[in-house]
Structures are given as C-alpha cells and as structure tokens.
Amino acid sequence: MISLSFILSLALVPFAFAQNNTQLQIEAIEAHFSNAGLVPSLLTTFVPEAELVLDFTGVGSITPGQALSKTQVAPAPSVLITPANSSVTLDGSFTLAMIDADIVGTDETEGQTRHWLVNGVTLSGSSPLNASTESATTITNYAGPGPAAGSGAHRYVVLLYTQPSTFSAPDGLNAPGAPVEKFVFTDYVKNSGLGPLVAATYFTVEEGTATVTVSSTAAVVSSTLPAVTASGSSSSASGSVSSSSAAPSATGNNSGAMSSKIMSPAVVFVAFALGFFLG
C-alpha cells in the first residue's frame, strides 16, 4: 500500500538533493546575521555566495556567532571559503576585513573598529579554498579582539569582498601600516568600489560581566541548524547576547524568517522518515 506520506516524501526528494550541506550552512550564516542584528544595521542585505569558516589555531573551525575568549582569537585565523555550488567561481582578487561591530543594538552608522584589512587576497587550494594573505597587501595587521571589561559581547565580523580592477583604496588605507582604529566600514566599501560581498561570518568576545544594557535577540535554536557539531552546540545560541532580562528588540523580529528557512530541511527529513516508516 502506498501511503500519502510516502508520496509526499517522494515529492520532496528533489528539494532534499538540490541543497547540499554548504548551502544549508550559508543559510544558517544568513540567519545568524539577521538574528544578531548585523542585518540590517551593518549590512542592508546579505546574500553570500560562499561559506566562510574561520579556523583558529588550538580551537579549530568555529561556527557562526560562536563565543570565544580573547586568548582563543589572539592569533590570526585561517579563512576558509567554500562556494555555494559549482557555478560559483571565485578567482581574481578579494579584500578581507575584520571589524568590531560592538554589541547588539549598536548604531553602526557611527563606525566600527578595524581589526584586519587585507587587499589583493587570492583564494588557493580546494575544498575549502584558503584566503591567502601571503602575496596580498595587508593594510591593517590582524589585531586580536580586546573588548573593554563590562562592555558586553562584541560582534567581530569577518567579510570577504570581491575586489574589482577598478578598486581604489582611499587615502590613509592605501598602504600597509594603518592602525587599529574606528572607520565607517560601509563607506570604505562604497568609496573604494568593493563588491559584491562573497562571504562573511562573525564571532563574539566578551570580557568580564556586562555593565551595559545589550539589546536581546531571539536565540538561534541550535537543534534546528544543519550539521551543528558538538563543539558548535554551545556557540549557536551565542548569536543572541546572554542578557535574558533585556526587553525583546526589533531584531527578535527576524527569528521567524530564520526558523522558516532553517526548518525546511528538517521538514524534508521528517517527510522522508514518515514515508519510510508508514509507507
């Protein structure tokens, strides 16, 4: 007997195979960016064409929004890039940046602290590609996060932009040696002609106990995220800042959009399971 659920699961097969794990991870990163308020306050839109994973010595690959200590993120990470699918080609030059977008709720129009800025990055190797800074122009050397004690969980955002041949670095940021300082990152991107944004991720670092009020976000429910590893389970909730007393903020609004995106593979799986057992 062919049950309805079996037919339903067959109907969903193409969707299950159309999305591979990288695409699910990219959707998870998008959800984390909305959830943490980085979209729309820092980036008005965020449609990555690749997954960006940071790999810190002694820590390994981190998950989006993972809470890390100053010590863990003191050395520069490897920046590993996996295209969404085989039709995404990533050759040419890229600009890599790490900026401190501060706590959730920060007015990003006031700027961000620059922790890393490298022009002329190339991607080498394969599966994943490695964003090599070796023959690139490092404008600001990697400077590990050092948020002030009590200032809350700062969001450190690492972004990889396409650097077209028309790219023109602004004064003060056109040669190595630019210090760690505040700049308006989106102005830099716009004025220098960077783009599009290829991939990004973020992590948080907090020093001491927050004495500031941090806007809350709805937590990303780790069980609904695809392929979350054991080490990532504590981290996936860190897209939300751990101040449960704070009032729900506008960014909490995004959680619905997030879960509907993330849930779809789970729905497919459940349909499969039903089809298998009932069919």
User: What track of x and - describes contact with ligand NAG for positions 59 through 98 (by CB under 6 A)?
Assistant: -------------------x---xxxxxxx----------
Helix extents (H) in 176-254: 185-192
Q: Which one, 83 or 152, has the nearer CB to ligand NAG?
A: 83
Q: Is 166 near ligand NAG (CB under 6 A)?
A: no
- Only one residue has tokens 């995404």, namely 88
For ligand NAG (CB under 6 A), the number of binding residues is: 18
Strands 129-132 and 112-124: antiparallel
Residue range at the interface with ligand NAG (CB under 6 A); choices 98-106, 126-134, 167-175, 215-223? 126-134
* Region 195-254 residues binding ligand NAG, contact defined as CB under 6 A: 250, 253
Q: Which one, 3 or 20, has the nearer CB to ligand NAG?
A: 20
36: nearest Cα among 108, 93, 91: 108
Nearest approach, Cβ of residue 22 and ligand NAG (Å): 4
Residue range at the interface with ligand NAG (CB under 6 A); choices 107-115, 130-138, 152-160, 164-172? 130-138
Q: Token digits for 35?
A: 């959830």
Distance from C-alpha of 42 to C-alpha of 108, rounded to nearest angstrom = 6
Distance from C-alpha of 117 to C-alpha of 97, rounded to nearest angstrom = 4
The single-letter code of the amino acid at 163 is Q
* Region 3-22 residues binding ligand NAG, contact defined as CB under 6 A: 20, 22
Nearest approach, Cβ of residue 20 and ligand NAG (Å): 4
Longest dimension (CA), the chain: 73
Q: Which one, 86 or 209, has the nearer CB to ligand NAG?
A: 86
Q: Is 130 near ligand NAG (CB under 6 A)?
A: yes
SS3 call for 5? helix
Radius of gyration of the chain (CA): 20
SS3 call for 244? coil
- φ/ψ of 181, rounded to 5, equals -160, 170
Q: Which one, 55 or 207, has the nearer CB to ligand NAG?
A: 55
Q: Which one, 85 or 224, has the nearer CB to ligand NAG?
A: 85
The tally of CA atoms less than 13 A away on the side-chain side of residue 189 is 23
Q: Which residues bind ligand NAG (CB under 6 A)?
A: 20, 22, 49, 55, 78, 82-88, 130, 132-134, 250, 253
